[in-house]
Structures are given as structure tokens and as C-alpha cells.
Chains A and B, each alone.
Chain A
Amino acid sequence: EAGVTQSPTHLIKTRGQQATLRCSPISGHTSVYWYQQALGLGLQFLLWYDEGEERNRGNFPPRFSGRQFPNYSSELNVNALELEDSALYLCASSSRTGMGEQYFGPGTRLTVT
């Protein structure tokens, strides 16, 4: 069974640009979560999608947005990039909306210069 996949592996952007990150969940999983992992800060919850709807968002500005497609894959968009957006962005999927196991992808390393 294929795990959670994310693309691209690395992304380099300049300040003010937009970044698009993609995630494909494990087959059969309907929930997708996005996290930001900045150096020394642990994982910060960004967004949660389930059945195509945004269910919850973390304490991030509106320039962080995303969507979930009918096949449950998901996209994270970051507009007006700032230097402090440089981080590892992780996607996780789960089969239930509760506290079921979350399976993480390998992440996309975003560098903003």
C-alpha cells in the first residue's frame, strides 16, 4: 500500500511569490492535515480537510490556504511568501475524523530567499 506522497520535495521561492504544495493521501483516507515544521518549533497545525471541506485551521494568516479535491488529494497555497515561511511542510492523512492514526508524508522543504 502506497503511503502519503508529497510534491515537490524541495521548493525555492523568492519573497512575495506564491508557493503550491501537493499531497496525495493513503488510498481510502478522507482526511488530510497540513503542518508547518520550522526549525526548533515543532509541528504547527495549519489546515484540516475532510470530504472536500475545510474543517479547521490553525493560527496562521489567510495567505495560507488550500483545498481538497474529489479524489481527496490536497493542495496548500502560500501567497505573498515571507522569509519566515521557510520550513518543512508536512501532510498527513487519516481514515477517520477523530483521533485515529495520522500517517505523514515525507514533507516539502520550502525555502524563501
Chain B
Amino acid sequence: QKEVEQDPGPLSVPEGAIVSLNCTYSNSAFQYFMWYRQYSRKGPELLMYTYSSGNKEDGRFTAQVDKSSKYISLFIRDSQPSDSATYLCAMSAYSSASKIIFGSGTRLSIRP
């Protein structure tokens, strides 16, 4: 079993819809949680960073962490075609960036 599981998609939704992206994990020691966005032929860029449990909101993006269920989510409101990308969840038990475990990514397509 992988430490981090992420549905590869592809996920296709109409413009304006609310998108929910999810990851599950098995290591209860994880306490740093991140979401990255990766456009085609580009490197990943950090979207959201959360420490421990709870919600974090940034514009149209909301990250949720439920440590009791070992489940994290990224919600995108009012989705735009420019949100079409691969979204990677990532997490770590340690503060060192060299210990980050990445999910395999979910490919998201927003239809105009």
C-alpha cells in the first residue's frame, strides 16, 4: 500500500463548478500537508500549505485536513479553464522538505 493515495482522474467539470480533489494517507505521523498545481510541461507550484488539522482558505481555494480520517481535500470554487492542470497532494511528518511524500496527481480539466 502506498503511503499517499490519490485518484489519478482525469476529472472533467464545467466552468464555474466546485471541484473537490482528495488524498488519503496511511502514516498517522504526517503533520505537514501541501497541494501543488502542475501545468503541462511545467514544474509543480505550491498552492496551499497546512500544518496539522483544519481548514485554510486562499481566494477560490480551500484546503481541508482531517487527521482522524487520514484524508485531505482541496476545493476549488468557481472553477476556470485556467485551473486545468494536474494537482498533486504532498505530506510529511518532518519539517525537512527532503521528507515530503507526493501523491501521483489528479488530472483536472475545466470545460468552458
Residues of A within 8 A of B (CB): 4, 31, 33, 35, 40-45, 48, 55-56, 58, 90-92, 94, 97-107
A92 in contact with B105 given A31-B97, A43-B88 (CB within 8 Å): no
Contact of A33 among B8, B90, B98 (CB under 8 A): B98
Residues of B within 8 A of A (CB): 4, 6, 8, 32, 41-46, 49, 88, 90, 92, 95-100, 102-105
Instruction: Let me know if A45 and B96 touch, CB within 8 A.
Output: no
Contact of A56 among B49, B98, B104 (CB under 8 A): B98
Contact of B105 among A35, A42, A44, A91 (CB under 8 A): A42
The SS class assigned to the B binding surface is: mixed
| Complex contacts, A45 vs chain B, CB 8 Å | 98-100
Chain A nearest CB: distance from B45 CB in Å?
A: 7
Instruction: Let me know if A55 and B46 touch, CB within 8 A.
Output: no
Contact of A42 among B32, B43, B88 (CB under 8 A): B88
Instruction: Let me know if B42 and A99 touch, CB within 8 A.
Output: no
| Complex contacts, A99 vs chain B, CB 8 Å | 32, 49, 92, 95-97
Chain A nearest CB: distance from B107 CB in Å?
A: 11
Instruction: Let me know if A33 and B102 touch, CB within 8 A.
Output: no
A92 in contact with B43 given A42-B88, A43-B88 (CB within 8 Å): yes
Instruction: Let me know if B43 and A4 touch, CB within 8 A.
Output: yes
Rounded to whole angstroms, the CA-CA distance of A81 and B95 in the bound complex is: 33
| A39 closest partner in B (C-beta) | B104
Rounded to whole angstroms, the CA-CA distance of A42 and B100 in the bound complex is: 11
| Complex contacts, A98 vs chain B, CB 8 Å | 95-97
Rounded to whole angstroms, the CA-CA distance of A75 and B50 in the bound complex is: 31
| Complex contacts, A48 vs chain B, CB 8 Å | 97-98
| Complex contacts, A44 vs chain B, CB 8 Å | 102
Instruction: Let me know if A106 and B96 touch, CB within 8 A.
Output: no
Rounded to whole angstroms, the CA-CA distance of A3 and B25 in the bound complex is: 31
Instruction: Let me know if B8 and A43 touch, CB within 8 A.
Output: no
| Complex contacts, A91 vs chain B, CB 8 Å | 43
| B105 closest partner in A (C-beta) | A42
Rounded to whole angstroms, the CA-CA distance of A25 and B109 in the bound complex is: 31
